[in-house]
A and B are shown apart, each in its own frame.
Chain A
């Protein structure tokens, strides 16, 4: 199976975020990492390839720094990479980004495209589904298991509140992958070495510009959310904090 995995670089989970001067985005000087569900999507693609053969291609869109997530994917075992390299890609809405992704793979023939179920930065949870619609392919979201069948694939969708559902579907298809579908591997030293020689195709903004329109939604402002609760911060040594907590648990919360 030939599988494309869409990967995004996002700010690290614990990275303190600062707003830019216009209050519409964060300042770029933070540490980045791979979007967590995308790491699971890559792992699943590698496992499918190990089972059924084929090729795993990774793709990302963003400035030069985002090449790092492609290098890591190549080191883990992806065969080649595509980088839509321009900081302008990071400012596209999900529809425009899906258009750009679709245009950059128009000469390829994939059986499956994986994305993470959502990104840790925007959190749209839309790009994969939109990409499927633009390609005219079926899709399934929040996937926890994938099996090849004679007619296509059988996937396990996660539903809410602990429910699941198996879905049979034809190929080609787009799947959005849930964190925890598998156990992530680490890159090996040999893998890291080999990654340097694997092909990485760069796609400039100009090459896909014709499919990108005006964004249909706009972030007017970004801000630190207001607290909705009157929070009491308990301070002191650990023992003092413990005593304060127990006092609240007894007299305010009344559970002791």
Chain B
């Protein structure tokens, strides 16, 4: 069998996740570079329609891996189903989006196949015959180029936003779709998941905010939140925070930006005392303009900002509030 690339798409309630198209775009780029044919698979109870949707893109084949036991999601069922399929198809590369669901099953799957996962990658490189996958380390302060040193299948997960989903190329004609009924024996599934739910009604929808002032650990104490709030008020924006601030209860959870909170793309994102851990960056890097104030000149947030202020936010913010008020007053 020739070397192939297999993309595992993710679906929720009969809809393909946006990140699935990003992973498919990554697969197309890798296929163009290596000359290896690209295939894709989607898992669920009845997902033939979704496989057809994927088959409209430029790839050689799309598979619907089906079993009633794949809904609701469990790591046991997904690992067993994919192990069967991958062992039969023997792809060289298996690409997945780095979602919470994939993080939950793919290390188990790779281990069961005596292989490994290079996780949370943001890019790839081909150097001679060698494929390298770039991932962030030390919370984004450093990057590493990582290679596989064992036998395929090689598993790679790509970070949300690493590739442009809207650039996934359409095919000249629809690719063939094959439905594979996977066998999942009784007793394989040990976890019993209940319904997915939202904690409480979200009081604010930060995705609609045009201006966001966000605070991180650098705000130091709960009482200092007020200062950031004053800046947000002066700008006519909403206040938001990185995860540690909401964990501490200084701001409610519905103000949290990042992979576990909201993903936003405002006109202006002003980050105060936020170092820029990956989990936060994925929630705000789509902002049109990003400004960061941080005392640490090496903070990873500075890699993605338009305007950087290296300094103490407690020195900068009070005069900034005054200047914004003056400007608004027509001064």
Contacts and interface: CB of A to CB of B under 8 A. Distances in A.
Contacts of A218: 146-147, 149
Given A126-B117, A167-B194, A231-B306, A120 B246 contact: no
B247 A238 contact: no
Nearest to A180: B247
B144 A222 contact: yes
Contact of A125 (B110, B120, B261): B120
A220 B147 contact: yes
A200 B235 CA distance: 56
Contact of A162 (B103, B144, B262, B306): B262
B303 interface: yes
B32 interface: no
Given A125-B103, A162-B253, A225-B136, A231 B268 contact: no
A245 B103 CA distance: 40
A126 B137 CA distance: 14
A220 B193 contact: no
Nearest 7 CB-CB pairings of A with B: A180-B247, A216-B116, A216-B150, A242-B319, A126-B107, A129-B107, A138-B190
29 contacts: A16-B298, A26-B142, A95-B116, A120-B138, A121-B137, A125-B107, A130-B111, A133-B107, A133-B112, A139-B104, A140-B75, A142-B100, A142-B104, A162-B198, A165-B194, A165-B196, A217-B146, A217-B149, A222-B137, A229-B303, A238-B316, A239-B319, A241-B309, A241-B320, A245-B291, A245-B320, A246-B324, A250-B327, A252-B289
B267 A253 contact: yes
Nearest to B73: A165
A232 B305 CA distance: 8
A249 B198 contact: no
Contact of B315 (A98, A167, A168, A238): A238
Contacts of A166: 193-194
B119 A249 contact: no
Contacts of B146: 217-220
B139 A123 contact: yes
B115 interface: yes
Contact of A169 (B192, B259, B324): B192
A219 B309 CA distance: 33
Contacts of B140: 225
Given A216-B150, A222-B137, A246-B327, A125 B260 contact: no
A169 B145 CA distance: 38
Contact of B199 (A120, A141, A164): A164
Nearest to B98: A125
A31 interface: no
B275 interface: yes
A185 interface: no
Interface stretch (A46-54, A68-76, A153-161, A201-209): A153-161
Contacts of A180: 243-244, 246-247
A123 B120 contact: yes
Contacts of B305: 229, 231
Contacts of A132: 108
A120 B279 CA distance: 11
A225 B143 contact: yes
Nearest to A162: B198
Contact of A225 (B198, B303, B307, B320): B303
Contacts of B143: 222-225
A101 to B, nearest CB: 13
A202 to B, nearest CB: 27
A248 B259 CA distance: 29
Given A179-B244, A238-B311, 6 more contacts: A129-B108, A158-B260, A161-B261, A228-B303, A229-B303, A245-B307
A223 B135 CA distance: 11
Contact of B275 (A13, A158, A243): A13
Interface centre among B211, B247, B261, B300 (most CB of A within 10 A): B247
Contacts of B137: 121-123, 222
B227 interface: no
Interface string B233-275: 0010000000110110000011000011111000110000001
A109 interface: no
A85 interface: no
